[in-house]
Amino acid sequence: MKKWITFDLDGTLMQNPFGKWVFPAIEEQISQQLQRPFKSTETLVREHERRMAQNRTVEAYDWDEMVRLLLAELQLELTIDVERLVLDHSVSPKIYLLEEKSLETLQRLKERGYSLAAVTNGFYKYQFPVMKALGLSEWFDDIVTPEKAGCGKPDARILDSLRKTGEIAAHVGDRLDHDVFMANQSGVPSVLIYHKLPEPLRAAAPRQRAAQAEFVDICKAKLQKEHPQAAVEPYPAEYVPDYVIYQMEELLDCVH
């Protein structure tokens, strides 16, 4: 049986090209066709959020479909291939690793005998080109995506295929509402990576940081931004990470 460590991708290990390159390219093409400025990114994100609120966690990340529907609604004779745009923009410096040493950490985890899986809400066709270009893909034994799993985070069922082959020793991610919640609901040790961890909190061990008053305040503000409906008082236990790290190398101290 395998011993898995699972990772979120965007905001955890890498920066994808959507925000600064893909969405603006879509906006430019639509605006040119309409011959007026059109904020397609806002429209697409609003549709994404609507689908997430309806628990349509697979459809919420099907950007090609959402773009096709938008073009039809605008009655534009225009074809935009989001997958192609991702491929075109999967080059440096448009995409990058969030930490240069993260590949070394992945290698060290593999040397310890762990199997590594990416568990991401991005469709495979959007994520793999970025992972390959950054040298990430070769370290992962599996890449779990919503269209393959039949659901997306925070639905814990996205982990089912991995559970059939072994146990999950930890899940690492940058979001409270997707990653920490999913791991906690699954009984998997949750590791929040927070790259901007204040210096005083870095003195505490990863296991102790989540209980610090200063970090509780950070979590409250972060959850309010990610999932306002969940940001209640007292702060809900299901959004409290087991470990907090500020760089990937610290993960080595959280798993043994």
Structure tokens at 126: 């959007």
Q: Would you give per-residue pLDDT tens digits along the chain (256 residues)?
A: 999 999 999 999 999 999 999 999 999 999 999 999 999 999 999 999 999 999 999 999 999 999 999 999 999 999 999 999 999 999 999 999 999 999 999 999 999 999 999 999 999 999 999 999 999 999 999 999 999 999 999 999 999 999 999 999 999 999 999 999 999 999 999 999 999 999 999 999 999 999 999 999 999 999 999 999 999 999 999 999 999 999 999 999 999 8
Buried b (16+ CB within 10 A) or exposed e, 25-44: bbbebbeeeeeeebebbebb
Domain membership of residue 96 (yes or no) is no
Give the DSSP H or E segment for 208.
none
Q: Order of strands, edge to edge, in the sheet holding 190-193?
A: 142-144, 115-119, 2-7, 166-173, 190-193, 243-245
**Residue that is last in its domain, among 89, 110, 137:** 89
Q: Residues 107, 69: one domain?
A: no
**Residue that is last in its domain, among 54, 89, 124:** 89
Q: Alpha-carbon distance 48 to 62, whole Å? A: 9
Q: Residue 247 region, left (φ>0) first, then alpha (ψ -120 to 50), else beta? A: beta
CA 85 → CA 17, 21, 42, 81, distances in Å? 9, 8, 18, 6
CATH of the domain at 156: 3.40.50.1000
Q: Which residue has the tokens 């503000």?
A: 221
Give the CA angle between residues 242, 243, 249 to the nearest 5°. Answer: 155
Give the DSSP H or E segment for 214.
helix 213-226
Q: Residue 219 region, left (φ>0) first, then alpha (ψ -120 to 50), else beta? A: alpha
Q: Residues 7, 38: one domain?
A: no
Q: Alpha-carbon distance 197 to 218, whole Å? A: 9
Domain membership of residue 95 (yes or no) is no
Domain encompassing residue 52? 18-89
What is the total count of domains within the chain? 2
Which residues touch 113 (CB under 8 Å, ≥6 apart)? 3
Q: Residues 143, 182: one domain?
A: yes
Domain membership of residue 43 (yes or no) is yes
Q: Residues 70, 178: one domain?
A: no
Structure confidence at residue 24 (pLDDT): 98
Taking the CA atoms of 8, 121, 119 and 136 in sequence, report the sign of the dihedral they define.
Answer: negative
**Residue that is last in its domain, among 66, 89, 112:** 89
Q: Residues 110, 171: one domain?
A: yes
| 206, 254 Cβ separation under 8 angstroms | yes
Structure confidence at residue 256 (pLDDT): 81
Cα within 13 Å of Cα(160), Cβ side: 11
Structure confidence at residue 233 (pLDDT): 95
Q: Residues 124, 78: one domain?
A: no
